[in-house]
Structure formats: C-alpha cells, structure tokens
Structure 1
Amino acid sequence: MTEPAVPALSIIIPVLNESECLQASLRALQPLRQQGCEVIVVDGGSRDDSVAIAQAWADVTLPSPAGRALQMNAGAKVAQGDYLLFLHADTQLPAALSLTQLLHSQPSWGFFKLRLNSRKSLLPMVQALMNLRSSLTAVATGDQAIFVRRQVFIAQGGYPAIPLMEDVALCKQLRRLARPLVVADPVLSSSRRWLQHGVLKTIMLMWLLRLGYFLKVSPQRLHSLYYG
C-alpha cells in the first residue's frame, strides 16, 4: 500500500466563535488543499457553528483550551506539514498563492505583508505603517500569517504560552536564527476591531500594549487591557 504523501504545508487556524467569517475563509483555502496542503482548525470552546463549519471544510478539527498560543501549539502538535502557517480566521491568503511560490526558497520562516479590508478613516496609513514596521524589525503580527519550518518551530518550543503578544515573542526568537521571508503579495485581514473600537483609539491601544510588552508588563495584564 502506498503511503500518503506528507503535506508541504499545514495551515493552522485558531477559532473561537468565528462562524460569521470562518466558512468564507476555509472556502478560500480549498485550492491549496488541492495542492496537498493540510488545513487544521483548533477550536477554543466555540458556542456557535464554528466546529460544524470546520468539520465540513478542514482536514482536521480539534478542541483546545482557549487562547491563541495554546490553540496554535495544539494544532502544531498534530500537523504533518514540513511548514506550519498560522492563519487568523478573519484573514485570507492571496488568492493566487501556490505552495511552490511560497516555499521554493526553503525559508526558515516568514510572514506576509498586510492589506486591511477597509479604506475608511486612517486605515490606509495604519496598513502602511504596519508593513513598514514589520519589514524593518522582522516582527509581525498574527494577522500577517506567520509561517515557519516545523522543525524550527519545535526547536524553539512553539509559541510561548502567554495570553497576548505570542506572535511578537515568537518572531523575536525566530529573527535570531534568520531573517524572515516577507511575502509582498499581501494577506487580506479584517478591519473589524479597528472600526468597532475607533481607529485612533485602537492605534493608541496597540502602541500602549507594545510599550507595555517592551517594559515587561505581564502578558496577563496586557490581555486585560486589550480585551477589557
């Protein structure tokens, strides 16, 4: 009997009550599944239809304690791909992306430039500054679909088990090993939090959180500020 091929890429999506956007996001990944990509959805205790949607559109659906770091680490443990790509439920990869295009240079890790799905208010400036900052510092946000060779991720111990800034912490670990591959073709990310809470207010909050993290304020305290 022929052994099933090992996927080149496993896409890991942490979800918690994301039924409004999850089906569209998973549907957009079907061309990559046809190329041999594995899609894993890790549910943190949703009370909506997220699990049912995931079971219909993903290769693997599994439960986990809530928290993006915990959920992404749980997905990584069962992933089979040579590379892991961590994708938010409200973010879509470039429509024309191919595995060959993404992985041909065999990067240790990388992330995508970002495009927000709204042009309202100051969001074009926010988008430009986020892309500039991440390119200069080699530190991405989770919205930028961080990807990493699985063995490198395992060697680094995965995401730190903290409730916020896990993406920043991982990038700072990975950039000590190698510069990231920054994919110019952007992911499309939801602007819902920016619009819901106000762009200027959210900008100030994000800078406050980053300053707090730099000053070693506990991630638990930062989490309460972010979601409070």
Structure 2
Amino acid sequence: MSQVSIIIPTLNEATNLGRTLRQLTLLNPPPSEVIVVDGGSQDQTVTVAKQIFESFNQTLNGQVLLSQQPGRSLQMNYGASAATGDILCFLHADTWVPDDLITVINKTLAEPTVACGGFISLMSGSQTTRWGISLHNYLKTYYAPLLFKPHLFFRGLRLLFGDQVMFCRRIDFWDCGGFDEALPIMEDGDLCLKLVKKGRIYLVNRIVQSSDRRVAKWGSFKATGIYLYIGFLWGIGVNANYLKQFYQDIR
C-alpha cells in the first residue's frame, strides 16, 4: 500500500480544523503524515493544530508549516514540497472524510490509467443539508468538461474541486508543475486540465461532507448563480484574477 500524505491549507480555520484533524485520527489505515500549511491566520488555527498533533502523536504524524503569504495554491505546493508520501491528498479544513479514506485512495490509484481522483461532496451545515447544490456540484464534474473541453472529456477529463478531496501521485503532481501559484481561484480545475495528460480524472462513488458556510452566507439562489457565473466565465477563458472578486473568503 502506498504512503499517503494529507495536506491541509488553512487561513483562520480554528472553528473547523479541530474536528477535521480529530477525524483523521480515526482513519484506518492511518495516513503517513498530515501537514497543515497555514497562510498567516489571525485566530487560533496554528495553536489548534499543534495541540491536536501533540495529543495524538501516537496515531497522527503531523506537522505545521507556516507559509510566507496566504494563497491556497502557494500553501498546497509548499505542503507538497515537504511531503514524503507517494500520494498527495489535498483536504480543506472544513471537509470531513470517511475512515477508510486511505484504502479508497490506494485502490483508486492502483489503476494505472487513473491520474487523479476525488469524492462526491455533500454540502451541509448544522441546520440543513444542501441537496440541490450538492447535486449540481456532482453533475458539474461531468457537464462542465463536456461543455467546454469535449475533446478532453472523452479522454477522461472530469472537473474536480477542492471540497471533493483531490488526490494524485506525487510524481504526477510535480511533473505537471503542481498548482499554478498565479491563480487565486480555480487552481483545482486547472490542475485537472494538466493531470488529464497523465491519465483519467476519476470521481469516486463515495461521499465526503463539506461545510455549507458560503451558501449559508449568500443563500442558495445567489450561491448557485455565482457558481454558474464563475464556472462559465472560466470555461471560456476569463482570467481567474478577475473572477476572484466574485468569490470572497468566508469564515
């Protein structure tokens, strides 16, 4: 079984990070390491991470890296450069995974034609489950590449996003140049476009659970509209730096 490094980029995630890290202590088999890369949090994110790694040092090989500046691409590349596992798994601080995550990842990438994988993201909060938006996000994995990159769709392109817990072989990740650090948004979709040159992008038929905080802030209709607007413009080649203004950070 290949060694899996889990990389978590954080910025002011003290509220969610504790639960995510505690859940990782239950993984069976465990990951080879968990790397939290913080982009300059002003809350207790770093303290939470260090406390949990210290408390569970027998079951969770963890470390905290401090990046020079915030930026998800920068942080994830920084974590990937420090990782020692054969497989890199990129996990958001507000996403929770099944306890057989490592087995699922290894089984998926045991197929040599698969270059990258991810899960079906079920978006939910303390009061509700966002069934409609979760369904749309699932369908978007397929219809977006079919609409905008049909030649790549038939070669195995599927568009995965960060809350789907993307994973790939470390060698393929670096051969493709990793995440584009110039992109403030859509770096995950961009990585799929690069990794499809190595093999298929595969959507695992399993669920991960992601926070609905953005939808809770915006409302379902506004959130859906923004997702569609950003996705369409990115699909036709609009610069991601322009699109970032419509996708503000929400904590």
Task: Provide TM-score, normalisation by structure 2.
Answer: 0.82
Q: Which residue of 2 aligns with 1:191?
A: 212
Q: Deviations over 1:64-121 (max 9, x none)?
A: 1101111000000000111001011000111x31423320352421001111124848
- The aligned amino acid for 2:49 is A
Q: Does 1:27 align with 2:22?
A: yes
- The aligned amino acid for 2:22 is R
Q: Which residue of 2 aligns with 1:103?
A: 106
Mapping for residues 79-228 of structure 1, pairs under 5 Å: 79-94=83-98, 96-105=99-108, 106=110, 107-118=114-125, 120=128, 123-135=130-142, 137=145, 138-161=158-181, 162-227=183-248
- The aligned amino acid for 1:174 is L
CA contact (8 A) 1:7 1:37 kept: no
Using the TM superposition, give the Cα deviation of residue 131 of structure 1 relative to its aligned residue in structure 2, in angstroms. 1.1
CA contact (8 A) 2:97 2:208 kept: yes
CA contact (8 A) 2:28 2:100 kept: no
2:73 pairs with 52, 69, 72, which one? Answer: 69
CA contact (8 A) 2:2 2:106 kept: no
CA contact (8 A) 2:9 2:91 kept: yes
CA distance in structure 2 between the aligned counterparts of 1:171 and 1:178, rounded to whole angstroms = 10
SS at match of 1:108: strand
CA contact (8 A) 1:113 1:186 kept: yes
2:12 pairs with 13, 17, 36, which one? Answer: 17
Unaligned runs of 5+ in 2: 54-61, 146-157
SS at match of 1:115: strand
SS at match of 1:23: helix
Unaligned runs of 5+ in 1: 1-5
- The aligned amino acid for 1:88 is H
SS at match of 1:75: helix
Relative to structure 2, which stretch is displaced further, 112-121 or 34-43?
112-121
